[in-house]
């Protein structure tokens, strides 16, 4: 008969799941703005360029939010950072829903972006510090899956409200889950790694024993944390980057992973799916509901990824994901580039986008966040994860702020072809540089990194 799991594993799981719910808020805005954008553009007579800014100003906020999240999280803790983010989302949603002019929408979305930048920095990091072993990969993947669920919820809300053009209800919807998660933050424990980094070792010990349900295991984990802190005590951020070559390598890998994630083209599809489908001769209402199908596939594959990440491992899943995306976008490029028409071409384009989204959801979506939370040494973890999150939102802004203009200049076919090639490059990137970290303790990954092993070999 298998041994019962430690009593504390349930506490760690509940805390990690609550934290992962931040992903719902991150995804919800993506789905909502995709559906609301056309109605906002109509009511405010916004040009295509202004619509690009309505979408992409959120990424500017997220970029700045992720930039400040490391300092805020390091000083005040992960729980406080998460709670602050939920308040910013509520305020931003209220501003958007009540906007009399387009400028207020831009301000509201900028605030929501700042909050999302904090969430995407804090949640994966916080989860990785609360959990161990297989639970770590599963829960960080759950964060990504809930992003997909949030996108689907946003698309569904858009489909329901699109009949009457009720875009204010769409953009105000995040108020509800933000309030619920804010209340949930009151019940979260402090990160044991953060407590130890602040010199509060006894508090860290108590939290670890509650989370692990095994006093001996908790004490061993705290001893590892203290050892790593003592190695680079007082050295952090840019100082650690200058002083330690292994830290420069881990930061560069994290930044590279996030840049490549955005260059897969996922947010082009997620933000502009209704416009892409309308361009393929879907009606406005049909495009809205077809977009819901895109969100549904994204969410369903996100659920499957929770199970696959602990069975397949990081590297095989990530490479398979990129191959699928490259092939799907290659097919979409052919359909658009050859100007194929008729119902068959329309349905084929839709199928290509669905396969692309499925490919992203099974690997590149969840695993990049998982890996970026695993590969950074404890003393520089806030800085390293902050750099990679900053890269994510900076590249997201660059892609989303130029997509419509690029399509206008070179056509949808060449645009999709470019993203297809980049996914092929990502396969090589993974093969050469990405480690397999499944079931490897964070302190072991750090020890391998410090020993000078190639990046591909710092896991197992």
278-291 pLDDT per residue, tens: 665 666 666 667 77
Range among 40-44, 328-332, 333-337 with highest mean pLDDT value: 328-332
Please count the CA atoms within 13 angstroms of the CA of 214 that sit on its side-chain side: 12
Residue of 210, 206, 185 lying closest to 196 (CA atoms): 206
pLDDT band with cut points at 50, 70 and 90 for residue 90:
very high
pLDDT at residue 2, rounded to an integer: 40
Distance CA 152, CA 146 (A): 10
392-417 pLDDT per residue, tens: 888 888 887 788 788 888 888 898 99
- pTM equals 0.74
Percent of the chain with pLDDT over 70: 93
pLDDT at residue 1, rounded to an integer: 37
Least confident residue range of 31-35, 172-176, 371-375, 448-452: 31-35
pLDDT at residue 7, rounded to an integer: 47
pLDDT at residue 12, rounded to an integer: 84
CA geometry: angle at 120 spanning 293 and 315, to 5°?
Answer: 75
Distance CA 337, CA 414 (A): 7
Q: What is the mean pLDDT of the chain?
A: 85
92-135 pLDDT per residue, tens: 999 999 999 999 999 999 999 999 999 988 998 899 888 876 68
pLDDT at residue 325, rounded to an integer: 95
Whole-number CA gyration radius for the chain: 22
Strand runs labelled E in 189-290: none
Q: Which two tokens stand for residue 402?
A: 């130029």
Contacts of 311 (CB under 8 A, 6+ apart): none
Distance CA 374, CA 354 (A): 30
363-399 pLDDT per residue, tens: 898 889 889 988 988 778 888 888 898 888 888 888 8
pLDDT at residue 98, rounded to an integer: 94
pLDDT band with cut points at 50, 70 and 90 for residue 355:
very high
Long-range (24+ apart) CB contacts under 8 A made by 217-221 are 217/6, 221/132, 221/192, 221/443
Q: How many CB atoms lie within 10 A of CB 454?
A: 11
pLDDT band with cut points at 50, 70 and 90 for residue 241:
confident
Q: Do 15 and 143 contact (CB within 8 A), yes or no?
A: no
| Residue whose structure tokens are 């056309």 | 38
Given a cut of 90, whether residue 3 has pLDDT beyond it is no
């Amino acid at each position: 008969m298998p041994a019962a799991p430690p009593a504390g594993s349930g506490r760690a799981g509940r805390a990690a799941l609550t934290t992962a719910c931040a992903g719902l808020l991150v995804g919800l805005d993506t789905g909502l703005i995709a559906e609301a954008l056309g109605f906002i553009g109509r009511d405010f007579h916004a040009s295509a360029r202004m619509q690009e800014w309505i979408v992409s100003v959120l990424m500017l906020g997220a970029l700045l939010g992720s930039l400040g999240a490391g300092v805020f999280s390091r000083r005040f803790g992960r729980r406080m950072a998460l709670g602050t983010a939920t308040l910013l989302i509520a305020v931003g949603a209220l501003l958007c829903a009540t906007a009399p002019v387009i400028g207020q929408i831009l301000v509201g979305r900028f605030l929501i972006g700042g909050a999302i930048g904090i969430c995407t920095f804090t949640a994966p990091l916080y989860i990785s510090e609360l959990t161990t072993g297989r639970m770590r990969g599963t829960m960080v993947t759950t964060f990504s899956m809930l992003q997909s669920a949030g996108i689907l919820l946003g698309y569904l809300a858009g489909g329901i409200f699109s009949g009457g053009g009720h875009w204010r209800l769409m953009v105000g919807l995040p108020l509800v889950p933000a309030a619920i998660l804010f209340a949930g933050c009151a019940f979260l424990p402090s990160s044991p790694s953060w407590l130890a980094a602040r010199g509060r070792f006894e508090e860290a010990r108590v939290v670890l024993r509650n989370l692990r349900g095994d006093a001996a295991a908790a004490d061993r984990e705290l001893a590892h944390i203290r050892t790593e802190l003592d190695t680079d005590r007082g050295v952090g951020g840019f100082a650690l980057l200058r002083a330690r070559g292994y830290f420069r390598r881990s930061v560069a890998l994290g930044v590279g992973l996030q840049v490549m994630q955005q260059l897969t083209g996922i947010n082009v599809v997620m933000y502009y799916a209704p416009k892409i489908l309308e361009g393929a001769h879907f009606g406005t209402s049909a495009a809205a509901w077809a977009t819901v199908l895109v969100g549904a596939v994204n969410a369903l594959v996100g659920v499957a990824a929770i199970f696959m990440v602990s069975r397949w491992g990081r590297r095989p899943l990530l490479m398979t994901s990129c191959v699928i995306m490259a092939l799907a976008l290659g097919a979409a490029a052919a359909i658009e580039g050859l100007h194929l028409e008729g119902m068959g071409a329309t349905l084929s384009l839709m199928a290509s986008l669905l396969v692309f989204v499925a490919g992203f959801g099974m690997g590149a979506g969840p695993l990049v966040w998982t890996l970026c939370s695993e590969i950074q040494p404890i003393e520089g973890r806030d800085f390293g994860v902050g750099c990679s999150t900053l890269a994510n939102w900076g590249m997201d802004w660059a892609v989303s702020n130029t997509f419509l203009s690029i399509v206008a200049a070179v056509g949808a076919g060449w645009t999709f072809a470019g993203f297809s090639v980049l996914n092929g490059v990502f396969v090589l990137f993974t093969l050469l540089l990405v480690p397999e970290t499944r079931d490897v303790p964070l302190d072991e990954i750090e020890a391998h990194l410090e020993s000078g092993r190639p990046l591909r070999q710092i896991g197992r």
